[in-house]
Structure 1
Amino acid sequence: MQTVKDEIGALYGGSVRVRVCGICVKNERILVVNHSLYGKNQLFWSPPGGGIQYGETAVDALKREFEEETGLKVQVGSLLFIHEHIGHPLHAIELFFRIDSFEGTLVKGSDPEITSDGQIIEEVSFMSWTEIQKFEESQLHRLFSLSDSLEGIFNLGNYISDSTRD
């Protein structure tokens, strides 16, 4: 029987994937998605985002991913930073953008590339910095360990590498 990790590895492993992610803040709370990327019952909170499809611009991909994962329609702002994740079997270049505005009702979405049994989105939520800091570092996207505040995320800038996850 194929596990969620096996399905993710088969879909996205063994090649470099270009992803887009959005930093969306409302009332000093950042929008995050809990993925069971590393197995069911294993938390991994990160900003919404996903892969760019062939022929799709980064901005269009981010708009699509936000709608798929959260139900929100977003206006994408400026590029904030680039993050590179290398952790077997995944290798991703992530382009992080500011989300200038959004509309709609927040809902837990799905990933259309993954089978219904293998869905990895567990929850979507706006969280305060204090709430985020209660999680272990391994349960959060690396960007949260690189800043000491929500505002600091907007000032990370440039290129960030992460080759620590297995």
Structure 2
Amino acid sequence: MRLYGNRLRLRVCGLCLIDEKLLMVRHRGIGPTDTFWCPPGGGPQYGETAYEALVREFHEETGLSIEVGELQFVNEFMQTPLHAMELFFDVQIVGGQLRQGFDPEMSADRQIITEVRLMTFDEIKSFPENEVHQLFRKCRSMDDVFHLKGYLKQ
């Protein structure tokens, strides 16, 4: 929270579907239950394009190399003290090996990524709403996720 909280951040996120399962990353330190699942992504660095940032963040968090596709939607994430404008893109895997990644801004003993895995829509929806990204509240199926467009209102 000290590193990312109490300021507006830009985030880029990748929607990666493999065999009807969405690639998800579990973070600790977010929310009341210390568990938060969301698609891979993170913040661009100064001078880095959104596409470049997503390729880097995806590799850091999952070990996978991707090709970035179309911008699907924009989400404004607000869960005090976090506030982020999130750009969600379709992505396709072009290489690498799936693994639990890391956050280079954190020391080895303070990593916040605790798991990376493919999940069905039913698995995602089986978690309490506060443990998964709010975008899933707007969806009744995996197909709905890939039909979200524009700016998602809270």
Superposition TM-score tier, normalisation by shorter sequence:
over 0.9
Contact 1:85/1:161, CA 8 A, preserved across alignment: no
| Counterpart Cα distance in 2 of 1:161 and 1:121 | 27
Q: Which moved more, 1:60-69 or 1:100-109?
A: 100-109
The yes-or-no answer on 1:58 pairing with 2:50 is yes
Counterpart of 2:18 (choices 23, 26, 32) is 26
**SS of residue in 2 equivalent to 1:155:** coil
Higher mean alpha-carbon deviation, 60-69 vs 123-132, is at 123-132
Match in the other structure for 1:69: 61
TM-score (norm 1): 0.88
Amino acid corresponding to residue 133 of structure 1 in structure 2: K
What value does the CA root-mean-square deviation take over the aligned residues?
1.5
Residue deviations 1:15-45, cap 9 Å, x none? 2100000000000000000111327962211
Deviations 1:104-124 (CA, angstroms, capped at 9, x unpaired): 210001000112222110100
Distance 2:52 2:137 in 1: 28
Kept after mapping to 2: 8 A contact 1:20/1:52:
yes
Moved over 3 A (4+): none
Answer yes or no: is the 8 Å Cα contact 1:45–1:139 preserved in 2.
yes
Structure 1 gaps of 5+ residues are 1-8
Q: Secondary structure of 1:12's match? A: coil
Alpha-carbon deviation of 1:140? 0.4
Aligned identity (percent) is: 48
Shift of 1:103: 1.8
Alignment of 1:130-141 (within 5 A): 130-141=122-133
The Cα of 1:146 is off from its aligned counterpart by 0.8
Q: Compute the TM-score of the two structures, normalised by the length of structure 2.
A: 0.94
Partner of 2:110: 118
DSSP 3-state at the match of 1:80: strand
Count of aligned positions: 154
Structure holding more strand per residue: 2
1:119-158 pair list within 5 angstroms = 119-158=111-150
Please give the residue correspondences for 1:83-102 in structure 2 after superposition, counting only pairs within 5 Å: 83-102=75-94
Q: Name stretches of at least 5 consecutive residues in structure 2 with no aligned partner.
A: none
Alignment match of 1:17 (pick from 9, 28, 48): 9
